[in-house]
Every structure is written in structure tokens, then in C-alpha cells.
Amino acid sequence: MAGRSQHPGQIMENQTRYDLNAAIESWRQELAGQAGLTAEVRRELETHLRDAIAGFQQRGLNDEESFWFARRRVGQPQLLGEEFVKADPSQVWRERVFWMVLACLIVSLWTNIVSCIPLHNWTSGFFGLLSAYAYVLLIYLPVIGLAIFLAKGQLNKRYYALAAIFQSRWRLATSAIVFIVVTHGSQAVMQYRYLIQTDHGRMAHTLDGFWVNVFSYMSWPLMLVVLATWLMPRQNRKTPKRA
Amino acid sequence: MYKTAMLTKDLVAASSKPLLLSILAGGESYGYEIIQKVRELSGGQIEWSDGMLYPVLHRLERDGLIDSEWKEADTGRQRKYYFISSDGRKVLKTERQQWLAVHNTLGKLWKIKPVTI
């Protein structure tokens, strides 16, 4: 083994210093940088890497050596990415579009929540300007958050943190619809109160317009839910039939 | 001359489908186990690159020949298990006939006892 220290004291020192989990995390981030590798493929490759590490450890190799050989066995992340793109280019785009749709949905729902916050009470002067900036910043907060997670390679971790929602298409659709109904419902209640206050005796006509507005507001996020559910990566979304 | 009888890249690629289907016809399995099995059965002559196995498995799955399911392994970790589908069994039967036809033809030329299906 090239570059391996032969001194027992040094080997022990290396073993105590070597952080296997950190090495796997760094490798995982390298994989996350490959466009051709979907979240599910990365998960599968990580399982393989861990199995290979365990295999080498059983043969008496230390953590560092086991990781080094297992990593080599699995292959270079760039080559793996290229192979997967060659094998199924449509799958890569499907997952990309899924994330785009999901990001649009989050931004759309977030904008709706932010619009309920009475930031615009200060309409002029310095505080007016400040509240306008704060409002814009709040609207773009999920986009900024997504960009930070992507840059740090932590998007996968966040994805697993919400694993329960992504376990099936049905769960994703239900969670999103509940969220839409709650956020839009609360906005509708606020709007309703405002209309009651400013109605001037035209209640029936105003309410017609009110309901049309509520449903039209909901149509865009609902359409995104349908799209996201359809494009959702295959992971765990079905019970396969055995031959 | 070749010192070791390692298979050529083309032959490895061509044999991957019947090999995978045959292994999975024997029962469900996962990537790492499949690689180990092929290495063991071939006595190290068929050396698959670990990571390159997955595009092939995914292609077979897309073609409906195999299916997969994430399950918890004995270690507590989640693993993706693959198993053969009914279409896969039909394709394996055809593959078997074709490979045996090649084997028997070469066997006649090299005077090796033919194999029947």
C-alpha cells in the first residue's frame, strides 16, 4: 500500500485521527456535484461504499485504508455521473425539473405567507423603505436558503430531514395540499374581514369576487403540486410486484 | 499472450444482462452482493467496476426486466434490493438459449461436449 506508514505508533495515531464519517461526507458532496447522479442513485452508491468499507474492515484494514479502497472500487464521481447520464438522460432532467417545480411551489407558498405579515404598515419615509426591503428579502428567503444548501452540498441532508413527506407521491401531494389550504385559508379569512369592513352594502357581489379570488390564487400552487407529484423521483413510491 | 484470462470489455458488457438476470432469478439481491457473487463465481475473471453496475441495473429496471425496493438490512441500514420480474424471466430464457447456442457452436469447433437446455 503506497504511502502507508509502517511504524505501529504512527499507524495508531493515523487511525485515531482519521474521521471516516467526515471522509464519507466529503465523498458524498463530491457525488452531489455530479449532475447525472440523482438523489436516489447517490443514496444507493453511498450504501455500496459503506458495504465495501465494511468488507475491507473485516479483512483487517483500518478506516482510512478501507475508505480509500472502497472509494476506488466504486469509481470516480465524474465518471459515474457520465455513465448515468449516458444510461438515462431523461431521468436526470426529470429530477431537475422536479426540484425546480418544488422550488417554485415553496416560493409561491412562502410569498403567500409573507403577504399576510403586516410589514407594509409604514408606507413612507425611511421605515417605509426599510419595510419594503425586508418584505422583498423575506420573499426571497427560501430561494436564498436553497442556494446556500446547494452551494454547501447540504440539499441532500435537508431532503432526508423531510424524508417522511417524500416517502410517497400521496404523502407529498397531501402535505402540499394541506399547506396550501391552510395558508390560503388564513389569507382568505384576512381578506374576508377586510371586505366586511369596507363592504358598503354590496356583500353578495363582493363575496362572489372573493371566492373567485380564493380559488384562482389556489390554482397555481395546486397545478405545481400536480406537476411535482408526477415528476417525483421513483424512490419508495411504489410497492413492486415480484415474479 | 494474455497471462490471465480476464474477459474483454465488450464481452463483459454483453454478458452483464444474462448474468444479472440469472443472479436475480436465484433470489433478490443488492449491488454489493451481486458484484461479490460475480467475482466469486467467475474466479475473478469477470471484474465489474462497482459503480458501473448501477447504470446497467437501472436500465434493466427501466426495461421492466427487474424491479427494486428499499428495505432495511440486518445492519439497520436501508438497502435497495433488486429482483427479477416475470418479463425478466422470459428474457432470461431467451438469453439462455442464445448463449448456449454460441457455447455449443464454439464447443463443436473446440471439441467440447455440448450443453442442452
Residue A107's region, left for phi above 0, alpha for psi from -120 to 50, else beta, is alpha
Which B residues 66-85 touch A at CB under 8 Å? 67-70, 75, 77-80, 83-85
Q: Is any Cβ of chain B less than 8 angstroms from the Cβ of A199?
A: no
B22 touches chain A (CB under 8 A): no
- Farthest CA pair distance, chain A: 92
Predicted structure pTM score: 0.62
Range of the domain at B29: 9-85
Within a domain: residue B114? no
Contact B52 A83 (CB under 8 A): yes
Residue B71 lies in a domain: yes
Task: Tell me if B98 is assigned to some domain.
Answer: no
Rounded distance, CA A73 to CA B112, Å? 36
**Rounded Cα gap, residues A206 and B1, in angstroms:** 90
Each residue of B14-58: pLDDT tens digit? 899 999 999 999 999 999 999 999 989 988 888 888 888 999 999
Residue B67 sits in a domain of what CATH number?
1.10.10.10
In which residue are the cell numbers 474521521 written? Answer: A19
Give residue-wise pLDDT tens across range B63-112: 999 999 988 887 788 899 999 999 999 999 999 999 999 998 999 899 88
Evaluate whether residue B75 is within a structural domain. yes
A31 chain-B contacts, CB cut-off 8 A: none
Number of domains composing chain B: 1
ipTM score for this prediction: 0.84
DSSP-derived letter for residue A166 is: G
Tell me whether A50 touches chain B (CB under 8 Å): yes
Please report whether residue B55 resides in a domain: yes
Cβ separation of B83 and A242 shorter than 8 Å? yes
**Mean pLDDT computed over A122-143:** 74
Question: Stretch A94-116: mean pLDDT, rounded?
Answer: 81
Q: Which residues of A touch B36 (CB under 8 A)?
A: 55
Across A5-19, A69-83, A104-118, A191-205, least confident range: A5-19
In a domain, B35, yes or no: yes
Residue to substitute from B29, B32, B37, B75, interface A, most A β-carbons within 10 A? B32
Q: Do B31 and A75 touch (CB under 8 A)?
A: no
Backbone φ/ψ region at A3: left (φ over 0), alpha (ψ -120 to 50), beta: left
CA A24/CA A69 separation, integer angstroms: 13
Domain contains B116 = no
Q: How close is the nearest chain A Cα to the Cα of B80, in Å?
A: 7
| B50:A236 CB<8 A | no
Q: What share of chain B is helix, strand, coil (3-state, %, to 5)?
A: 55, 15, 30
Q: What is the pLDDT of residues B61-73, one digit of tens each?
A: 989 999 999 888 8
Give how far B5 is from chain A: nearest CA, Å: 21
